[in-house]
């Protein structure tokens, strides 16, 4: 008895793989623009920030303010050293101040896209993870990054694995900070 089709098992595996991927959740191309993760207003908003890029690890305070369609973002250490000061618009950014170890044009193009996606109206691909939480993707190729927002802890995590860049932003809550002066 001759076999009419010698690759029956391969055909079944390909059919199963096609059905599984066709039935998975896909992002909608005509989805409405999602609001920014954090609403920035004319009042000043403060956030705790921790970022690491290669060998540079910094914690600090991120201060944001929206004025005339521009978002001004300033990051400073707990000791008052300004790490960076950037003004974001919908289509470009202006780097007002930056420490020397972060002074790289390509890195700032990536960071500007990430901060725009968090604090201004978004412009990235939106998908969902297995738990149904929203993920935002920015950039492409080596600059591709993932922004995850955890609603329980109100923490936003940005990861660019090819650039070895990780940022964690949490709304500032002075009641959770220890009062070292009272000790």
Residue-wise pLDDT tens digits, 90-125:
888 999 999 887 888 888 888 888 888 888 765 666
Note the pTM of the prediction, 2 decimals: 0.68
Q: Which two tokens stand for residue 135?
A: 């993920």
Place of tokens 């066709």: 22
Q: Looking at residue 66, what is its pLDDT?
A: 85
133 CA to centre of own chain: 14
CA atoms of 50 and 59, how far apart (whole Å): 4
Domains and CATH numbers, the chain: 45-173 (2.50.20.10)
Strands 155-160 and 56-67: unpaired
Residues 6+ positions from 44 with CB-CB distance below 8 Å: 63, 64, 65
CA atoms of 150 and 156, how far apart (whole Å): 6
CA distances from 137 to 6, 12, 22, 134 (A): 43, 34, 21, 10
CA atoms of 160 and 140, how far apart (whole Å): 10
Q: Give phi and psi for 104, each to the nearest 5.
A: -150, 125
Q: Looking at residue 123, what is its pLDDT?
A: 60
Q: How many CB atoms lie within 10 A of CB 99?
A: 14
Q: Looking at residue 43, what is its pLDDT?
A: 72
List per-block mean pLDDT (blocks of 10 residues) for the chain, which spans 183 residues. 60 64 49 52 83 84 87 90 90 90 85 85 65 75 82 85 88 62 38
Place of tokens 């896909």: 26
């Amino acid at each position: 008895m001759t076999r009419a089709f010698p690759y029956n098992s391969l055909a079944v595996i390909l059919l199963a793989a096609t059905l599984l991927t066709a039935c998975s959740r896909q992002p909608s191309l005509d989805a409405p623009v999602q609001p920014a993760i954090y609403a920035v207003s004319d009042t000043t908003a403060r956030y705790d920030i921790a970022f690491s890029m290669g060998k540079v690890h910094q914690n600090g305070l991120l201060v944001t303010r929206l004025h005339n369609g521009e978002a001004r973002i300033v990051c400073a250490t707990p000791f008052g050293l300004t790490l960076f000061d950037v003004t974001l618009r919908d289509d470009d950014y202006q780097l007002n101040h930056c420490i020397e170890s972060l002074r790289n044009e390509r890195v700032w193009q990536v960071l500007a896209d990430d901060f725009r996606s968090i604090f201004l109206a978004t412009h990235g691909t939106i998908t969902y993870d297995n738990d149904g939480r929203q993920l935002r993707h920015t950039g492409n190729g080596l600059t591709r990054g993932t922004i995850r927002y955890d609603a329980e802890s109100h923490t936003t995590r940005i990861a660019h694995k090819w650039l070895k860049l990780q940022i964690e932003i949490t709304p500032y809550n002075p009641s959770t900070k220890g009062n070292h002066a009272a000790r």
